[in-house]
Structure formats: structure tokens, C-alpha cells
Amino acid sequence: MEDSYPKGIFQECHTAILFMIISCLSIAVMGVFVKVASVTIPPSEILFFRFFIGLLFTLPLIFRDKSFSFRVTQPAYFALRNIAGLLSMLLMFYSLKYLSVSTSVILMNTSSFFVPLFIFLIFREKTDPGVIFFTLSGFIGVYIVSLSPQKEISVFYMLVGLSAAALAALAYIGINQLSKHHSPLQIVFWFYLMCSIILPVVSGYQWVVPSWQELGLLVMVGLSGLIFQLFIARALKNKNITVVTPFIFTGVIFATVLDWLIWSDTPAPQFWLGATVIIASVSMLALRKSKQTAGGN
């Protein structure tokens, strides 16, 4: 079977899968550092370091990119992307203090289910019945996860995690519109810059002077978040997106292993069943989207 396809396509897919696995590992590791740091550091301060370290790493890229422009031509979509993205990550970091890393990771993967709803509400685009079906099946998966008897599964904090996913969906829509006229570096730079300015202003009263150990945790949050950003962007560049999407499940596996190693948390069967339904639904949504894109071309 492999002989019927060009060798380059398989190599490209394998590379994209590797990038996806690295990105999933890095987001799980970031979740661990966030959860540990949140014991003594406010979520808003942790998030500031996440953005500020990312901003420091983007500056050399800007100086090397001669085509980079600071000009903004779609301020409304920049506002949507930046505000929704900031609120999403604040809620995610807040929920991580009370949920297991694996639960938080699986909830963030539900952002794909909110995108069709928001596209309909904002652009009045018709939604394919298949998309509606897999979106509903994804939320059924979330419900199954909520049935887990684990003591750390709280309905309230699960709703916080779902709200983070919904806001992330709004941010994705903003990114999609901005990418038509702006480079990824422009979009990331303005997001990191705005968040690095706003967070100290709105949460300065909560600021805690970190110890050297806490500072190390905050730096690791920033670095692991940056690694995630770099590798997820490269993974999703692959044209065969449906081949890559199922490997999002590796993030749940990594997070579960880390939960077990650090906090001795072992997910119940309901968690795995719900997680499987969610990732399968995400994969089917990606498959339908790729078919629609191919049909449009």
C-alpha cells in the first residue's frame, strides 16, 4: 500500500506526526508546571511569564525577518483573537489548579466543537449535519468524563475548562481571519505583547515575588509553552491534517502518565471512554473539513 504513494508524502506525514507528539508532550509538561506553580503563584502571574518569555523569543525572529510589519489592518479580529485568547488561557490556568492535568488537556481539545457554533453565529454559515453530529458526540464524551468517580473531577471546574475551550474557539476564528492578511509572526507578536502589558496592569495587586525555585517553574512554563506553539504550528502545516489530528490523544496519555507519576492519580474507565469519544469526534471533524476544503478546490 505504501508503494502506491510518493515517498515524500509519507515522510512529510511522519514528520508532522512527530511534531504533533512533541507539541502534545510539551503542553502536558506545561500543565504540570502550571499546576505546581499555582500552589503559591496566582494564575495571572504564571500566565504573564508564559507570554513574556514567548515575547522575548519572538523579538530575534522579528529582527531577522525583513518582511515583518507592525501594521495592523484588521483591528477587530486582532481584538477578538487577543482578548478571547487571553481569557481562555486565564481560565485554563485557573482550572489546572483544581483539575488533573489530563482532564484539563482533554477539555481544551473540545474547542473544535465550539468553532462551528461560533461560525454560524458570527458569519451565518450553514453547518453540515455531519459536523453537528460529531459536535454533539464530542459533548457526550465530555459528559462521560464528568461521570468519573475521581475526587478531583468537579463539575464547576469542568465548566471553567469548557469555557476556556469556547474562548479558544473564538480565538481560532480570529486567527483564521487574520491569517488572510497577516503573517503568523505578526499575529503571535501582537498577542504576546498585549498580554505581557495587560496582565501586570490588571492583576498587579495579586503579584507575588517568586522565590528562585518558583522562578524556575515560571520559566519552564514559558519555555514548554513556546515549544508547544512552535511544534503545533509545524504539525498543522501538513496538508494531510486528518493523519495528524488523532495523535492529539498522545497529549492525554502524556498528561495521564504525569498525573500518575507526580500525584498518583489514575483515571477511571469513564475518563478513557469519554476521552476516546472526544478525540474520535475531533478527528472526524478534521476529516470532514479536509474533504470540504478539497471539494472547494
* CB-based contact 282:20 (threshold 8 Å): no
Helix (H) or strand (E) holding 31: helix 7-37
4 has a pLDDT exceeding 50: no
Q: How confident is the model at residue 255 (pLDDT cuts 50, 70, 90)?
A: very high
Read off the pLDDT of each residue in 52-59 and give the average, rounded to a whole number: 90
Position 2 confidence tier, pLDDT thresholds 50, 70, 90? very low
Q: How confident is the model at residue 294 (pLDDT cuts 50, 70, 90)?
A: low
Cβ atoms of 95 and 154 within 8 Å: the answer is no
pLDDT for the residue numbered 109: 85
**pLDDT recorded at residue 153:** 63
Task: Look at residue 297 and tell me whether its pLDDT is greater than 70.
Answer: no
Distance CA 10, CA 14 (A): 6
Predicted local confidence at residue 242, as pLDDT:
61
pLDDT above 90 coverage of the chain, percent: 41
Q: Which of 70-79, 83-92, 191-200, 283-292 is least confident?
A: 283-292
Specify the higher pLDDT residue, 252 or 11.
Answer: 252
Q: Which amino acid is at 135?
A: T
pTM of the predicted protein model: 0.84
pLDDT tens per residue, range 89-99 = 999 999 998 99
Q: CA 137, 269, 232 angle in degrees (round to 5)? A: 60
Task: Return d(Cα 13, Cα 30) in angstroms, integer.
Answer: 25
In whole angstroms, what is the distance from residue 247 CA to residue 207 CA?
37
Question: Would you say residue 84 has pLDDT above 80?
Answer: yes
Summarised one tens digit per residue, pLDDT across range 161-175 is 999 999 999 998 888
Q: How confident is residue 122, by pLDDT bands cut at 50, 70 and 90? A: confident
CA atoms within 13 A on the CB side of 95: 28
**pLDDT range class, residue 199, cuts 50, 70, 90:** very high
CA angle (51, 52, 54) in 5-degree steps: 65
CA distance 224 to 9: 29
What does the alpha-carbon distance between residue 63 and residue 263 come to, in Å, rounded to a whole number? 43
Look up cell 476529516; give the residue. Answer: 287
- CA–CA gap between residue 109 and residue 241 (Å, rounded): 15
Q: How many residues does the chain have?
A: 297
Alpha helices in 124-248 (DSSP H): 129-146, 155-178, 184-203, 212-235, 241-244
State the pLDDT at residue 8. Answer: 52
pLDDT tens digits, one per residue of 125-175: 777 888 889 889 999 999 898 887 765 567 889 999 999 999 999 998 888
CA 89 – CA 79 distance, rounded (Å) = 15
**Average pLDDT, whole number, for the chain?**
85
Percent of the chain clearing pLDDT 70 (strictly above)? 89
3-state secondary structure of 150: coil
